[in-house]
Structure 1
Amino acid sequence: MLNRIGKEITYLRSAVRTLGRLKDIQKNPDRTWADIIEGLAATKPDNLAITGEDGSTLTYAQLNERANRYARWALASGARKGDAIALLMENKPEYIVAWLGIVKMGGVAALINTNLTGMGLAHCLNISGANHAIVDDSLADNFFGAADKFDRDIKPWIHGEPVQGAENLSDSLGLYSAEPLPADTRKDLQQTDNALYIYTSGTTGLPKAAKITHYRLQTMAGAFSAATAATEKDRMYVVLPLYHSAGGVCAVGAVLTVGGSVIVKRKFSAREFWEDCAKHEATLFQYIGELCRYLLNTDQKPGENRHKVRLAVGNGLRPEIWEPFQQRFKIPRIVEFYGATEGNIALMNYDGTVGAVGRVPGYAKKTFNVEIVKFDVDAEEPIRGADGLCIKCAPGEVGEALGKIDPESATGKFDGYADAKATEKKILRDVFEKGDMWFRSGDLLKQDERGYFYFMDRIGDTFRWKGENVATSEVAEAISIYPGIKEANVYGVAINGMDGRAGMVSMVVAEEPDWTRFKAHLDDNLPAYAQPVFVRLQEEVEITGTFKHRKVELVKEGFDPEAISDPIFFFDPREKQFIRLTKDLYNDIQTGSLKL
């Protein structure tokens, strides 16, 4: 009882603090992100704003002055309010400076995924509408390698060492003043104007450019600042990509809104993670679930929990590793959240209930805009009743999470994508009454009787087998706790002449499992229909830049042992055990002579 009361108090304090931040942002429609940084540069000029992995630092005064140079450079290059400038740069302090400078003059910074090449890179640059691109010298080859696919001339400005055939931005910036910008530079800029384009990860097709307005930029930063109770004394360690909302907006914004400090790491290193936290005296860090799994898979070593981290915030921390991770590395508090870069659903698990991605108790339901509706996995559409309207899920029932679109609400705005058609695809109409509009999350969640939300799966990842819905995340969770399994990526594969999809798992293992024990483990943890039929052993699981498992390619590759070099094992129902899949067995399965 006391534990429940404590959790309720934590929820109320955190929710009130968060809603207070959002209301304050609404009350100041002319205040932009640039105004916040300029205010801190005036009131806390000597506070440390950013630290690089090489030890370089920028105070708020220095950050603001250097961003002024970028703003003047952008204006001199012909950019005006609403114009996009692409930013293709690895994680470093200059990254934050650059996009701050662009938004300072009213422009839009298009944050490009640094892993992209060729058509993918060209696509993102093309849809940004940018005529200029800031390009890190280390990524110049990627840019020029995709140039023949651009639909217009995009002028590259190289940051770092000069590159033949491109302007050198590092030299050009010195030509512009660091003094405050003229008062009328942003005279027409409103919170409803775009500040950033942040691209979806492209796990299912080419990325889409989500529009991040100045309002959304402030609310995302403010919500994370409130959830973590950040102060100017906090230091946030950022290893996630700055081109994505988790690392580049939520983590950065959590501390830069209150005069705190950001520690920028070029790339995540499990070996150096805790050493960096200790060295830079980090008090906060932002995670993606798989990042935590990588850290947990490392060998224990002295000093790994001698740090000043008081809180970790992030999403995707699976229940099976939550407590082992928190206990091993001695992290006092974990705040798990649920949301999407472009979406209007934001959930926070303020009290640390293991496995939950957020909570909305019954008494707070009217304040938030999220509902879960019954969902048809086969049709990949919400189920509608006889009246044509959607049906709300009962507690514990899995369905699609929707967010009500209400431009006047602090939590209901949906700005969509740069592509209007892509925006329309995410809107569901006539949900609970004729004429209403809701944002489709594309995710399956459930909510318990106390209001806690639990992430179940991505729509499209859940599949049907033997007439039952199989949630890949639940299966992966059950498999991952088997000894020696470092990663498990679960998906469904088609078999000729059979309805639904058979379960398959790609695993990274310390050594090949004892298949008899592995099957016994599956029997203990999963119903028969949810157990994988095929197991693929890989050296590593391919992930996106934001640590999400790639599944599309694996689904396409299927389970043909002659087309795949990795060993594949098959649960033979005749032998009642896993055996190595051969071409003859594959043919028997596909022709139906071996019945599953």
Structure 2
Amino acid sequence: MSLNTLAGVLPTRPVPREQTQALLDLRSAAAGLIKPRDLYTLADRLEQQAQEQGERPFLIYREQRLSYREVDARANQMAHTFYANGLRAGDVCALIMENRPAFFCTWFGLVKLGVVVAFVNTQVSGKPLLHALQTTEAKALVVGEECLANMQATEGLPDVPCWLIHDPETPWSGPLPKGVDGHFDSRIENAPRTLFPRDIRAHIDAQTPTLLIFTSGTTGLPKAARYSHMRWLSSGDVMEVTLHATRDDVFYCCLPLYHGAAATSVTSTALRAGAAIVIRRKFSVREFWSDVASHRISIFQYIGEICRYLLNQPVREGERQHSLRCMLGAGLSPDSWQRWLERFGPIQVFEGWGATEANAAIINVDNYFGSCGRVPDWNKTNVRLVRYDIENDCHPRDENGFYQICEVGEAGEAMGFIVDHPEIGGGRFEGYTSAEATESKIRRNVFREGDAYWSSGDLLRQDADGYCYFVDRIGDTYRWKSENVSTAEVADALGDLAGLELINVYGVQVPGHEGRVGMAAVLMQPGCDFDPQALYHLTEARLPRYAAPVFVRVTRSADLTASFKLRKVDLQRQGYCPARCSDPLYIRDESARTYVPYSLRALERAGLAAFAVADHG
């Protein structure tokens, strides 16, 4: 199934390979500016920009406008206070706080000490919070007042210092949770704003970890990925040349800072360019365009789903008159991409593919609908697309026992060759805090004896022009009636169903059948009802018969990760069992040419058996 065919998109004409490669070469040169052994850190760049940018705005939040100099001064206060309270270079300090200026000042203050900062999801409490603190071996925790409820709901927290940063917007009432130091703010206010001594961190080189960022965790508990100063700084260097970012740009930070996208791409690029960042505590569909207008925002980082939310809003007068010139992100379907540009005008879209822990990435610098990146010359990248057998869940081997490169049009797993050289930073796999988790993502002896590749778990395909397309996660793609079905492609094809808010497609097992049958969980917009006949007709127009979902559940909410990725494990376990699913269920009825309410008779007409609860416990 072609992505462009599926989504009804007419592809633009590919630009010459040489033109794409020229920009990719600039990105490669930028990626090599910081060397592994350079005695240069995130804190050095902040202090350098504070000197050069001075009173130019860095952080904008509601009515607050903090200059580069002011942010650096507040970070110095943090650094002096943390040092006085016992933190030292190499220690890990966890930070749980929503998007606001104090997040940046705390983060940067810790970095000035050479402390490794572990960003913790502001939505977690109980076992997931304990897991975050234990796996990072945090020696201290900084908590925003807005997150105190997470602490109160968690038993057995480690006996480490817990410092409170007050939040005027969400004051805490009642006694503080046990172990929380509520007087930390006063110590910060009384600390000097003078430059924190650099010699405290002078021995730290660029390859040293500076951040621990948790993966999205679509299955199981998230893993803490290591992020070095070098990788963080290089991200800004690379995206500065990609976006042609300058100090006149204004970035929009509306994704959670505890996740990689906002904390890395947005912050590192804005800092590199000397640009401003408008902080939104949480993404708001209602406030997005008013924020763009009032702050003259020029660049924002998207996740595909937030673009869909914005496209679902009613058309408003003058909506093509705005300051956005480009956007970067992932997960924008071809249909949403085309609708976005048609509706909001000629914005440059930089769709990419990668991961928080990835040692490889690709990017579409050509605004070519649907593609997550282009590889004009495979000799100039460490990415490879490797053949993958979905039915047998394995990588086919050649006669010498090695993996095989995909042909054009063939879906395969994206892997990144792991570069292990003391003078080269690009292509390194920095791994996780868990050695076991790190090793589980490495494939060895892939194309020759002794090599090593990072395994992404993502299926991609390339076309004849070198454009690559995301197909699905391994495990999400399922096999039905001897055909492979991509859940991502099916979701893209059905994404513009009238009144739809979200669609989550997955495969479920059926007793007596090989493979898995397609099922879709749909969330409708407020005030909109699910139209089973409209969905049926859309599947007929857009999908091969074998790829059309057989079951539909109309859900009341969506289970999303921090990066707006849809979780599927619980849905797959519940399947189409009425005893486990309180949502309305529908079954595809070919004779009636619609989806009909679940019943044993409708199941029988579809030639399927009832969901066996015991088999899916």
2:417 maps to 1:404: yes
With 118-127 and 16-25 compared, the bigger mean Cα shift is at 16-25
Task: Please tell me whether the aligned partners of residues 533 and 593 of structure 2 are also in contact (alpha carbons under 8 angstroms).
Answer: no
Deviation at 1:519? 2.4
With 205-214 and 482-491 compared, the bigger mean Cα shift is at 482-491
Among 165, 179, 199, the residue aligned to 1:159? 165
Deviation at 1:120? 1.0
Task: Please tell me whether the aligned partners of residues 408 and 462 of structure 2 are also in contact (alpha carbons under 8 angstroms).
Answer: yes
Structure-1-length-normalised TM-score? 0.94
Residue 395 of structure 1 is matched in structure 2 by: 408
Deviation at 1:558? 1.0
Map Cα deviations across residues 210-264 of structure 1 (whole Å, 9 max, x no partner).
Answer: 0001111112222222221111111101100101111111111111112111111
Among 141, 149, 159, the residue aligned to 1:133? 141
> Secondary structure at 1:62's aligned position in 2?
helix
Structure-2-length-normalised TM-score? 0.91
Matches within 5 A, 1:168-567: 168=182, 169-362=184-377, 365-408=378-421, 409-509=424-524, 511-567=528-584
> Secondary structure at 1:325's aligned position in 2?
helix
> Secondary structure at 1:590's aligned position in 2?
coil
Partner letter of residue 45 of structure 1?
A: G
Among 570, 591, 609, the residue aligned to 1:590? 609
Map Cα deviations across residues 77-107 of structure 1 (whole Å, 9 max, x no partner).
Answer: 2222211100000011111111111111101
Query: Would you say how many aligned residue pairs link Structure 1 and Structure 2?
Result: 586
Deviation at 1:25? 1.3
Structure 2 CA distance for aligned equivalents of residues 476 and 542 of structure 1: 16
Matches within 5 A, 1:562-573: 562-572=579-589
Structure 2 CA distance for aligned equivalents of residues 516 and 571 of structure 1: 10
Q: Measured at CA, do residues 64 and 405 of structure 1 come closer, stay the same or move farther in structure 2, by a change above 3 Å?
A: same
> Considering only aligned residues, what root-mean-square deviation do their CA atoms show, in Å?
2.1
Task: Please tell me whether the aligned partners of residues 225 and 257 of structure 1 are also in contact (alpha carbons under 8 angstroms).
Answer: yes
Map Cα deviations across residues 335-375 of structure 1 (whole Å, 9 max, x no partner).
Answer: 1111101011111111100101111102xx22210000110
Map Cα deviations across residues 253-292 of structure 1 (whole Å, 9 max, x no partner).
Answer: 1111121111110011111101001101111111000000
Deviation at 1:592? 9.6
With 190-199 and 576-585 compared, the bigger mean Cα shift is at 576-585
Partner letter of residue 446 of structure 1?
A: R
Deviation at 1:469? 1.2
Among 62, 68, 71, the residue aligned to 2:76? 68
Which structure 2 residue ranges, 5 or more long, are not aligned? 1-11, 613-617
Partner letter of residue 373 of structure 1?
A: V
Higher RCO structure (Cα 8 Å, ≥6 apart): 2
> Secondary structure at 1:99's aligned position in 2?
helix
Map Cα deviations across residues 421-452 of structure 1 (whole Å, 9 max, x no partner).
Answer: 00000000110001100000110001112111
Structure 2 CA distance for aligned equivalents of residues 279 and 90 of structure 1: 22
Task: Please tell me whether the aligned partners of residues 315 and 357 of structure 1 are also in contact (alpha carbons under 8 angstroms).
Answer: yes
Structure 1 CA distance for aligned equivalents of residues 126 and 408 of structure 2: 46
Structure 2 CA distance for aligned equivalents of residues 245 and 430 of structure 1: 30
> Secondary structure at 2:202's aligned position in 1?
coil
> Secondary structure at 1:24's aligned position in 2?
coil
Residue 39 of structure 1 is matched in structure 2 by: 48
> Secondary structure at 1:521's aligned position in 2?
helix
Task: Please tell me whether the aligned partners of residues 445 and 451 of structure 2 are also in contact (alpha carbons under 8 angstroms).
Answer: yes
Among 95, 102, 119, the residue aligned to 2:127? 119
Structure 1 CA distance for aligned equivalents of residues 355 and 214 of structure 2: 11
The 4+ residue runs of structure 1 with deviation greater than 6 A are none
Structure 2 CA distance for aligned equivalents of residues 404 and 11 of structure 1: 22
Which structure 1 residue ranges, 5 or more long, are not aligned? none
Deviation at 1:115? 1.1
Map Cα deviations across residues 498-531 of structure 1 (whole Å, 9 max, x no partner).
Answer: 2211100011235445544432321222112211
Structure 1 CA distance for aligned equivalents of residues 319 and 95 of structure 2: 35
Q: Measured at CA, do residues 592 and 557 of structure 1 come closer, stay the same or move farther in structure 2, by a change above 3 Å?
A: closer
Deviation at 1:4? 5.9
